Chains A and B, each alone.
Chain A
């Protein structure tokens, strides 16, 4: 294992902790030191809980010393996306609306993390209410890509991807409504999975679009991602869409890394025009490596994917406009009184608060959703989008009759510069063009690093998609590809990222 504990994988840390060659306090403190040294540059955390993390670490060390048998990841620290409620820790969702809000309860995912004995280092930055592909819509300022601090770390989970890529945590949680785990993973050279819809509980996640939202794991290796997937997933009676079945055998699949005999479909509609040459080149090479490992590759057509982006940007705003109605300035969150009105009504207070508390992108989507659902336009917009959703699910079903998994580039380009797409909402939306179909159909997807683009030296990602509840296939393919690429490169992709003020780390 690397002597710098922040460079080790979660699996390596878990082994070293289990054999008592290191303590959780040492591992947690090493990450807190790293955060102190580099997060001023990266701005990936909105809140760091040093005291709480160390308290958990001490408790785990004591329990281990007492001979207790502990869960695999006990003592391995983690960062939690700020969309998940954490009892006693601020949860802002990247919005002024929830500035300073301390939830009185834990999300089920957070409860699982605590039960697994994992110290929570802090909460990670995100686009406001998970609306965005860059973290630039965070009310607290953007996070930066550790590969180039002038570029975006993806979004909405850019805080989590940046934390992982800059060694400020070995693991982080994410949520993916249209690509918010996978696209940030692709542009930072990390791994992320959106499980099958219903595979991870949504209880305690601030909802964006309830029929699309799915929480999942973020990490630097496929095995680490699987280990966290196993902790996060499972049936939860508190989420009525939670799948009542065991977590798919993702860890076993990641360890076996076997694609021999597997049929892999390259989606014709995802990867042509509009995709950066370097992204396409690394994708083609990755597919060739899977063939070398014994997979069979065919081209598959999913013609209705061409309508996915349009359907998504009707369904998502519609559901969001309804979900975000709860921010009414009455029970929790911000309350702003309108100027120039004596004794304002609740409705006036609500309208003033929502103008002050929501950012531009959130307002845009709420108003778009309000329109799409309004009488007279419902059939033309929301109704049509729901029918397109059926067509996309049928495209997937037909494809999976022929192949075991589908693959495509995760994002059409490498990380763009901060500010580049901020004034052009449609250009920003196009980042999700390859990731959206999976959310519409509810199928699982993963992004794995495929290399760096020749033209800019920035990371590229390959997306793997599997049929619903067959999440383990993502890990078979992802791990096989990761192994093949590692043999080729000789070192993990993140060893090529520039050093971030690491000389400032105490004791390093």
Chain B
């Protein structure tokens, strides 16, 4: 099995949008190695020709009648916003300069 390098963990942290410090990265490389070695045990199970199971129950699509029902008011929806402006969520700029 593959083990994770420090660069791999840094890349994953980037994908997960977590700005890990150098010290956190150092610690996590070793911890993930131990966990991955242990969870790789799933590959030793007799899983050939076994169908994967994503959910404990058969899932069916659930619909409801198309009628108006009460929802959050704009004030309620914005009540936890870190920043708001003109009744909307205020967010940092989306585009990078380069």
Name A's B-contacting residues (CB within 8 A). Answer: 101-105, 197-198, 211, 237, 240-241, 243, 304, 307, 309-311, 313-314, 321, 325, 328-335, 338, 343-352, 354-355, 358, 360, 363-364, 366-368, 370-371, 374, 377, 380-381, 383-391, 393, 425-426, 429, 440-443, 468
Contact = CB atoms under 8 A, between A and B. Distances in A.
A391 B18 contact: no
A331 B74 CA distance: 12
A211 B55 contact: yes
A307 B41 CA distance: 7
Given A314-B42, A321-B16, A241 B57 contact: yes
Task: Determine chain B's interface SS by DSSP, over half rule.
Answer: loop
Contact of B79 (A104, A363, A426): A104
Contact of B18 (A211, A346, A349, A363): A363
Interface in B26-58: 27-28, 31-32, 34-36, 38-47, 50-57
A351 B35 contact: no
Contact of A104 (B4, B17, B62, B80): B80
Contacts of B32: 364, 367-368, 371
A425 B80 contact: no
B66 interface: no
Contacts of A102: 79-80
B53 A393 contact: yes
Contacts of A333: 80, 82
A426 B94 contact: no
B67 interface: no
B85 interface: no
Contact of A386 (B24, B31, B54): B54
Nearest to A427: B34
21 contacts: A211-B54, A211-B55, A241-B55, A241-B57, A307-B45, A314-B39, A321-B16, A330-B82, A331-B80, A332-B79, A332-B81, A333-B82, A355-B20, A358-B18, A364-B28, A367-B28, A368-B32, A390-B52, A391-B47, A425-B35, A441-B56
Given A304-B45, A371-B12, A426 B57 contact: no
A304 B82 CA distance: 47
Contact of B42 (A197, A307, A331, A360): A307
B72 A104 contact: yes
Given A363-B24, A367-B9, A386 B19 contact: no
Interface centre among A103, A368, A429 (most CB of B within 10 A): A368
Contacts of A105: 72, 76
A468 B42 contact: no
Contacts of A366: 16, 18
A468 B57 CA distance: 9
Lowest 9 CB-CB distances: which A-B pairs, in order? A442-B56, A332-B80, A386-B52, A335-B82, A104-B76, A387-B47, A351-B19, A310-B41, A240-B62
Contacts of A309: 38
B81 A345 contact: no
B18 A354 contact: yes
B68 interface: no
Nearest to B45: A307
A384 B42 contact: yes
B76 A311 contact: no
A426 B34 contact: yes
Given A346-B91, A387-B52, A334 B42 contact: no
B87 interface: no
Residues of B in contact with A, size category:
35 or more
A334 B80 CA distance: 9
Contacts of B21: 355
Given A346-B92, A348-B92, A371-B12, 8 more contacts: A310-B40, A364-B31, A388-B42, A388-B47, A389-B52, A390-B53, A425-B31, A426-B38
Contacts of A304: 45-46
B45 A345 contact: no
Given A345-B96, A354-B18, A363-B20, A384 B43 contact: yes
B39 A345 contact: no
B15 interface: yes
B53 A334 contact: no
Contacts of B79: 102, 104, 332
Contacts of A103: 80
B64 to A, nearest CB: 6
B81 A349 contact: no
Nearest to A349: B92
A383 B54 CA distance: 9
A101 B53 contact: no
Contacts of B46: 304, 391
Given A240-B62, A388-B42, A334 B52 contact: no
Contacts of B9: 367
Contacts of A426: 34-35, 38
Nearest to B10: A367
B72 A355 contact: no
B12 A390 contact: no
Given A363-B20, A388-B45, A313 B39 contact: yes
B59 interface: yes
A347 B42 contact: no
A383 B28 contact: no
B18 A351 contact: yes
B12 A335 contact: no
A211 B56 CA distance: 7
Contact of A334 (B35, B39, B77, B82): B82
A104 B4 CA distance: 42
